[in-house]
Amino acid sequence: MMMPKFVLLWTDAVLWAMVAALVWYGWRVKINPNLRANWFKVARDPAALCAGIVLALFALVTLLDSVHFRRALLPAVGAPAGTPTFYSTQTESVLDAQLARQIEMRETEHSKPLAFMSLKKESFERDGHQVHDYARLRYGGAHLTDPATQWAGDVRSRVLAGAAGGLLVAALVALSMAFALRRGHGGLFAALRDIAADRTNLPLRAALATTTAICLLVGATIALMGHYHVFGTDQTGNDVLFQSLKSVRTAFVIGTLATVATLPFAVVLGVLAGYFKGWVDEAIQYLYTTLTSVPNVLLIAACVLMVQVFLDKHPEMFETGGERADLKIFLLCVILGLTGWATLCRLVRGETLKLRELDFVQAATAFGVSHARIMTRHIAPNVMHLVLITTVLSFSDLILYEAVLTYVGVGVDPSMNSFGGMINLARSEMSRDPLVWWSFAAAFGFMVTLVLAANLFADGVRDAFDPRARSFRPRLRPAAPF
Amino acid sequence: MLNYLIRRVGYGVLILIGVNLFTFILFFTVNTPDDMARLNIGGKRVTQEQIEKWKSERGYDKPLYWNEKEHGSAKATDTVFWDRSVSLFALNFGRSDAQNAIDIGHEIKTRMGVSLQLAVPLFILQVIASVAFALLLVFFRHSRIDFWGVVLCVLMLSISSLFYIIVGQLMFSRLLHLVPMSGWAGGLSAAKFLMLPIGLCLLSRLGGEARLYRAMFLEEVGKDYVRTARAKGLSEPVVLFRHVLKNALIPIMTSAGSYLPYVFLGSLVFESFFGIPGLGAFVIEAITGQDFAIVRSMVFLGAVLYIASNVVIDLAYTWADPRVRLT
């Protein structure tokens, strides 16, 4: 096996930089008791903890899909030693390599989830006669000799085996939880009992339930997907499950990158406006009022159209189609960032206006600390909770927004898998006869899970970090009087 | 009050100048008219003559900002900037870039009427439905209805509006045959085309709005005047409707007011899905046809509407709360 050539796409670079930043933030949380207490509050919230687990799973898929490489091609026979190795023009990711079987299992057209027969009747030859009937699929259920009788049993046994494997993993997770808690709860079994009775410090029972559900679903899917199309195939015969998994990365890239792109403007300008007041404040306020006064979609559409013209003019900026699509989504995130920083900037400005009058800032000024140092040392750290809350809150909005933008035609490249693209295709498929519902249902399931998890997590973070947000969580019992 | 209005309008004009400069730089300096011509003509080999012809037909062959060849004031007025950007302030939108060169101003006038037919009932119903649902949840606070109501809200706001549209069209048009799938007719018969989009749009926004309003109401419910109202023996519905609702009007107006520009601009997604020939569909056609003149005009119009609706909201504050003084 020859070494493949690793390719660092724009979005990969930013995603991994963000992972590094998260690790650094994790270290900060570890040494800072205030931050630790706040994050502990988030973890105490069952909904936020479960949502965090689901998000972590999606993040894992994203990161697997963010290590790209180009395979080395075998040298021609008899080529002299020392000829440079050539690389495939196709950029693959680790996820693609893991799911090579699903990419290879390509049918010719639509097929139902878990089907072994084609959706429409085809003309083909059977026993020397030309017949017009439902044909066997090339890959889906191809291992069955007599599908009519074996299919149900085969699917059932695979689901059960996969679920059993999933349960095993979940049991291991439960045991390791209990093992970690054995000191405080008086032994392994007492810890297990306490988890089951929900008497633990963190809502571990809810976390365990979520993990078990995920393990069961993933286990059953893995057991099935080698021989069936779990979510069917689309009109060109591609596996819908694979497309959905690839779309997760697109959604994640948009959700994270676009908010990160707003941060430099929002924080720097917001702090400057609030700290200096006067004409600086006026100018910055004018800038963001001008930006917000244009309806967002129109502004983004105008910018994206210009980027398209720019990319058409400069074909030398990318080598493969994949890199072009990647550059496009990267620029889309930059545009979303450039057009979307006003909300956070306004919040940061307001907070800075308050902070600059407080004693510790006045003291620093009296000691002759420079403006730049006051802003970086004393003000910026104190507006970070706003940054965190806005980032997690806008994540889900951006994922929803991507679908709309792609529908409008200013979103991600059509060659890139995305939820918006899947919905767009599904729209035309829904008017077919027989009804093709599965790619729509898959996009719906994945997208709602992702957005719902992001929303619940964001609510937890906001309740823990925003001192002013009074929690209006619905409770079945009125809160205990204090 | 008058002083306030004059100041607001003056600041609005300043912002419009900013928007205008920004779009002009974006559309004419970042990419030159030559690029636009090449994109619009399409194809691999575009000759310089074709580009020149395309530009002269649309008046893009003049200098961008300053015409040295002319005399007097024509130095400034005989330019692309004057023709295409300054003229927008007189709401003179000019003609589109496409081959048929439609009159954009006329098109906007006819299409805005259609958009309003969709958006005005939607806007009114949306406020009523969200407030009613939120009040219901507040009335039953700390009960199962409140708990599951909020769960429903979070679930609803996690679903993309595209899903509502596709499922709604499938259920009501294709399976139940209650309303036509898409299309448009003028006059009263428009109602049957409008029912489904209005209902679905209402549904797609209900979750987020109702949750927001619920939090606003609960904030009010905790205040002292509510306790006083209860203490003097008022029933809970009277407390909610007469006292809480009135006091929560200002935040409600802020939130509902953010939809106000879109009442005139129409909804991109809903209009194009349901084949309603409003302004939203107009923008989508312009984007797919890469007609930059229309996109520029709509950006400007959007900014005008945004500024106007902000002034209207401010005036509405004084009506809702006499303590608010505009100075």
Instruction: Classify residue A10 by its DSSP letter.
Output: H
CA A342 – CA A15 distance, rounded (Å): 24
Closest chain B CA to residue A293? B303
- Answer whether B147 touches A (CB < 8 Å): yes
pLDDT of residue A50: 93
Dmax (CA) of chain A? 98
Say which DSSP state B99 is in.
T
Considering only residues B208 and A411, tell me which one the structure prediction assigns the higher pLDDT: B208
Give CA–CA dist B293/B291, Å, rounded: 6
pLDDT at A430: 75
DSSP A239: B
Q: Which residues make Cβ contacts (< 8 Å) with residue B21, sequence separation at least 6?
A: B85
**Are A140 and A227 in contact, with CB atoms under 8 Å apart?**
yes
- The Cα of B141 is separated from the nearest Cα of chain A by a number of Å equal to 7
The answer for residues whose C-beta is within 8 angstroms of residue B18's C-beta and 6 or more apart is A286, A287, A290
Contact with chain A for residue B19, Cβ under 8 A: yes
* Cβ <8 Å between B283 and A472: no
Q: Is the pLDDT of residue B61 over 90?
A: no
Query: Chain A: residue nearest B215 by CA?
Result: A472
Q: Within its chain, how far is the Cα of B216 from the centroid? A: 24
User: Which residues in chain A have their CB less than 8 angstroms from residue B201's CB?
Assistant: none
- Angle (nearest 5°) at CA A254 between B303 and A206: 120
pLDDT of residue A481: 41
Closest CB to B166: pick one of A289, A419, A430: A430
Cα of B291 to nearest chain A Cα, Å:
10
Q: Per-residue pLDDT for chain A (482 aa), expressed as one digit of tens each?
A: 567 788 888 888 889 999 999 999 999 999 999 889 989 989 988 899 999 999 999 999 999 888 888 888 777 776 676 777 777 777 788 888 888 888 888 887 788 888 777 777 777 777 777 777 777 777 777 777 787 788 888 888 889 999 999 999 999 999 999 888 888 888 888 888 888 888 888 888 899 999 999 999 999 998 888 888 888 888 888 888 888 998 999 999 999 999 889 998 899 999 999 999 889 999 999 999 898 888 888 888 888 888 887 787 777 777 777 778 888 889 899 999 988 899 899 999 999 999 989 999 999 999 999 999 999 989 998 898 889 988 888 999 999 999 888 888 888 888 888 998 888 888 877 777 777 888 888 999 999 999 999 999 998 998 888 876 655 676 655 444 43
- How remote is the C-alpha of B182 from its chain's centroid? 21
- The rounded distance, in Å, linking the Cα atoms of A212 and B11 is 58
Residues 377 through 406 of chain A touching chain B, CB cutoff 8 Å: 396, 400, 403-404
Is the CB of A298 inside 8 Å of chain B's CB atoms?
Answer: yes
pTM of this prediction? 0.89
Among residues B179, B206, B207, the alpha carbon closest in space to that of B276 is found at B179
CA pseudo-torsion sign B82, B85, B89, B90: positive
- DSSP per-residue string spanning A407-433: HHT-SS-TTS--HHHHHHHHHHHTTSS
Tokens standing for B7? 């100041």
Q: Could you tell me if A419 and A250 are in contact, meaning their C-beta atoms sit under 8 angstroms apart?
A: yes
- Whether omega before A434 lies within 30 degrees of 0, making that bond cis, reads yes
Interface check for A47 against chain B (CB to CB < 8 A): the answer is no
Selected residues 148-187 of chain B with any CB under 8 Å from a CB in chain A: 149-151, 154-155, 157-163, 166, 169-170, 174
| Best to test chain B binding among A308, A309, A419 (most B CBs inside 10 Å) | A309
pLDDT of residue A202: 85
Secondary structure string (H, E, C) spanning B296-315: HHHHHHHHHHHHHHHHHHHH
The identity of residue A186, as a single letter, is G
* Secondary element (H or E) of residue A123: strand A117-126
**Residues of chain B positioned with their CB less than 8 A from the CB of A451:** 158-160
Residues B96-154 pLDDT 10s? 777 677 788 888 888 888 889 889 999 999 999 999 999 999 998 888 888 899 999 99
Cα Rg of chain A (Å, integer)? 27
State the nearest Cα–Cα gap between A333 and chain B, in angstroms: 18
Minimum-distance CB partner of A293 among B158, B292, B303: B303
Inter-chain CB proximity B166 and A477 less than 8 Å: no
Q: A93 - beta bridge partners?
A: A68
Can you spell out the DSSP letters for A366-405? HTT--HHHIIIIIIHHHHHHHHHHHHHHHHHHHHHHHHHH
Calpha distance A179→A406 (Å, rounded): 48
> Residues B59, B60, B66, B69: is their CA dihedral positive or negative?
negative
pLDDT score for A23: 94
In chain A, which residues have their Cβ closer than 8 Å to the Cβ of B9? Answer: none
pLDDT of residue A478: 47
Which A positions 313-332 lie with beta carbon below 8 A of chain B? 313
Task: Categorize the per-residue pLDDT at B210 as very low, low, confident or very high, splitting at 50, 70 and 90.
Answer: very high
Q: Dihedral (C-alpha) A163, A166, A168, A174: value to the nearest 10 degrees? A: -130
CA nearest to B164 within chain A: A444
Q: How far is B70 from chain A (nearest CA, A)?
A: 31
Single out the residue of B157, B179, B158 nearest to residue B168, CA to CA: B179
Q: Is A124 helix (H, G, I), strand (E, B) or coil?
A: strand
- The predicted complex's ipTM stands at 0.86
Distance from CA of A172 to the nearest CA of B (A): 31
The kind and range of the H/E element at A50 are: helix A46-64
Q: Which residue has the tokens 């959604």?
A: A251
Task: Point out the residue among A298, A306, A430 whose CB comes nearest to the CB of B299.
Answer: A298
Q: What is the mean pLDDT of residues B237-245?
A: 89
Cα A307 from Cα A278, distance rounded (Å): 36
In angstroms, the CA A260 to CA A245 distance is 23
Instruction: Report helix, strand or coil for A32.
Output: coil
d(CA B4, CA A372): 37
Residue the block writes with tokens 């919905």: A423
